[in-house]
Structure 1
Amino acid sequence: MPGKKILMICGDYCEDYETMVPFQALWAVGHTVHAVCPDKQAGEHIKTAVHDFEGAQTYSEKPGHNFTLNATFAEIRPEDYDALVVPGGRGPEYLRGYPAVCAAVRYFFDTNKPVATVCHGAQLLAGAGVLKGRHCSAYPACRAEVELAGGTYVDIAVDKAFTEGNLVSAPAWPAHPDWIAQFLALLGTRITL
C-alpha cells in the first residue's frame, strides 16, 4: 500500500492529544501528514491545550505542548491531498472564520475523500457547511452545532468512533484507538503483524 498524503488543519489551542497522537500515528504507519494553520508558516508552532475529564460538569483545560507545523497553509492545495484530519479543542471555533479554511474542508467533502474529525472539530465542519444530511459524532457540547448545521448528532460512548461514508467522527481523545482504526480503514491502510 503506498502511503497517503494527509492534510491536518490545526489552530492555536487545538486539543494536544487530538493533534499530536493522530499526527504521529499516521506518520508511523507510512503516511505523510502536513500540519498547517492559517497565517502561520512551516516551522512555526501552535499552542495546544490538554483537556481532561476530572469529574466536573465539563472538561478542564491545561497548557499543552507547542506543536510545530510542517507546512504552510497559504502554500497548500487541497487537491494535492488524499485525506483530511480536523483535531478538536478550541482551534476549530476560530478556524471556521477563515473562508479559505472552510473552502479546503468543503473540497474533501465535494470529492468524497476521507475526513477524520474529533471532539470540537465538528465546529469547523458546521462552519464549512458540510454537515447537512450527515451523521456526525462530536463532543456533546457541540451537538447543537451539528444539528443547527443540518446534521444528525451521533451520541456514542467517549471511547468510540462512527463512520458514515467518507467521514469518521468521535466525541473525544479517549476514542483514538477506534477513531484512528476506522480512519485507517477508510484510507485503505493494512497493518499486518
Structure 2
Amino acid sequence: MSNNFQMPRSDVTLKIPIMPKILMPIGDATEALDTFYPYYRLPEDDYEVVVAGPEARLYHTVLHEIPPNPDVPWDITQERPGYHLKADIAFRDLRAEEYAGAFISGGRAPEYIRYDKDLQRCVREIAKAGKPIACICHGIEILTAADCIQGKRVTTVPKCAMDAEQGGATYVDDDVVFDGLLVTGRGYAENTVVVKEFLRLLKAAED
C-alpha cells in the first residue's frame, strides 16, 4: 500500500476581505477604557483599527478617573498605570484617504498630541471628506485643534467644555450627542452608545 497520499487540487482561491480602516490616534496617557473598548469592538463588525501615535512604538495607557472613595478627595482626575498599546503608524505617515472614519479617545494624551500638525491634517481631511468621526472625553481637544467642529453640537467631560467652545462648537451637557456624521460622548461610560452609533454611520456610508 502506498503512503504517498495527495489531497486533490482545488481551483478555488480563498479571498480574505479587506476591512475598512478606522484611525485611532493615541499617545502616552491615553485612557484605557476609552481606547480598548472600540479597539476590540470595531473589528467584530469587520473594521480594522489602525492605531497611530507620534511614533510607531509602544505607548502607556492610564486609568483616568476621580477616585470614588479616596481618603483625601480629588478635585480632578487621578491617573494610574494601565495596559500598553502599540501604535502601528506615526502621525507623519498618515493618509486620510486610507480611512473610513476616526475614533478619537480621551485621557491626557490629547493635551499634547493635538499639537501635531500631521495629526491635525489627517483628522481635518477625514472630516472634510464627510467620513464618520466618534469622540470620547478629552478627545474633543484634538477635534478643536483640527478645526473640524465649527457649528457642531458636541459633548465632552465638563472640564473640556471650554475646549469645545473654543473650537466653534456648542457644548451640550448630555451624555451623548449626535450631529450629522459626528458622535461625541462624555466619557467611557458612554462607550457602548457611541460605538453603536459610530458603526451605524460607518455602515450607512458604505451603502
TM normalised by structure 2 equals: 0.83
Give 2:91's aligned residue.
73
**How far 1:22 moved relative to its partner?**
0.6
Match of residue 52 from structure 1: 65
Measured in 2, the distance between the counterparts of 1:169 and 1:149 equals 14
RMSD: 1.7
Q: Note the C-alpha offset of 1:57.
A: 3.4
Report the equivalent of 1:150.
168
Shift of 1:2: 7.6
Q: Percent identity?
A: 30
CA distance 1:2–1:182, shift in 2 (3 Å): farther
Cα distance in 1, alignment partners of residues 202 and 158 from structure 2: 27
Looking at structure 1, the residues matched to 201 and 124 of structure 2 have their Cα atoms a distance apart, in angstroms, of 18
Partner residue, 2:52: 36
When the two structures are aligned, how many residues end up with a matched partner? 183
The Cα shift of 1:26 comes to 0.7
Q: What is the SS of the residue equivalent to 1:63?
A: strand
The alignment status of 1:134 with 2:149, answered yes or no, reads no
Q: Does 1:115 find its partner at 2:133? A: yes
Q: 2: CA distance between counterparts of 1:185 and 1:3?
A: 16
Task: Supply the AA of the counterpart residue of 1:83.
Answer: G
TM superposition shift of 1:119: 0.2
Paired residue for 1:165, among 180, 188, 191?
180
Aligned to 1:188: 203
Q: What CA deviation, in whole Å up to 9, does each residue of 1:157-176 have, x standing for no partner? A: 3xxx2211111100100101
Gaps of 5+ in 2: 1-16, 69-73
Measured after TM superposition, the shift of residue 69 of structure 1 is 1.9
Q: CA deviation at 1:145?
A: 0.9
Matched, 1:95 2:95: no
> Which runs of no fewer than 5 residues in structure 1 stay unpaired?
none
The one-character-per-residue Cα deviations of 1:70-101 (angstroms, maximum 9, x if unpaired) are 33433331111110111101111111111111
Mean CA deviation greater in 63-72 or 12-21 = 63-72
Select the residue among 16, 35, 38 that pairs with 1:19: 35
Larger of the two Rg values belongs to structure: 2
Structure 1 CA distance, aligned partners of 2:190 and 2:152? Answer: 20
